């Protein structure tokens, strides 16, 4: 487990990552690797904020699937796990190694990332 990052810094940077993805989509929706990377960073930081706020230790990782396993699993379905896997690939694999095109365009990735972020925000409700 790693020492926690500052929550406010994570929140600020998460918002910046989301905005960066939106700007890329507005200007060139075909920059999928860069859009995906920024959306992965947006979700990763959001997840780490919620884990910290709920007192959950997490490992130093960019893998959203590993982080998702630390959340309560109510309302998490196979599509959510698949999306976490797809975005995780942008953190390292697509950025520095093997390249493959995701099964959606930039706008679709953005909409799905926002939906995933809302899911993350609700997983501790009613526990």
Domain extent at residue 75: 7-122
- C-alpha 97/C-alpha 103 separation (Å) is 18
How many separate domains does the chain show?
1
CATH of the domain at 110: 1.20.120.330
Each residue of 74-99: pLDDT tens digit?
Answer: 788 999 999 999 999 888 766 566 66
Q: Is residue 57 part of a domain?
A: yes
- C-alpha 55/C-alpha 49 separation (Å) is 10
Q: Are 92 and 36 spatial neighbours (Cβ–Cβ below 8 Å)?
A: no
Q: Is residue 1 part of a domain?
A: no
Nearest by Cα to 75 from 123, 5, 12, 127: 123
Q: Is residue 127 part of a domain?
A: no
> Helix, strand or coil for residue 3?
coil
Q: Is residue 19 part of a domain?
A: yes
> What global pTM score does this model have?
0.89
Average pLDDT value for residue range 52-70: 93
Q: Is residue 79 part of a domain?
A: yes
- C-alpha 63/C-alpha 85 separation (Å) is 8
């Amino acid at each position: 487990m790693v020492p926690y990052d500052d929550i406010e810094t994570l929140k600020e940077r998460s918002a910046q990552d989301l905005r960066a993805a939106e700007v890329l989509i507005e200007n060139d929706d075909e920059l999928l690797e860069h859009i995906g990377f920024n959306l992965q960073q947006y979700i990763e930081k959001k997840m780490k904020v919620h884990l910290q706020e709920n007192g959950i230790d997490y490992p130093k990782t960019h893998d959203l699937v590993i982080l998702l396993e630390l959340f309560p699993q109510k309302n998490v379905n196979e599509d959510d796990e698949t999306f976490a896997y797809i975005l995780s690939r942008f953190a390292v694999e697509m950025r520095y190694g093997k390249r493959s095109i995701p099964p959606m365009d930039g706008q679709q990735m953005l909409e799905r990332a926002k939906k995933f972020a809302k899911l993350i925000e609700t997983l501790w409700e009613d526990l």
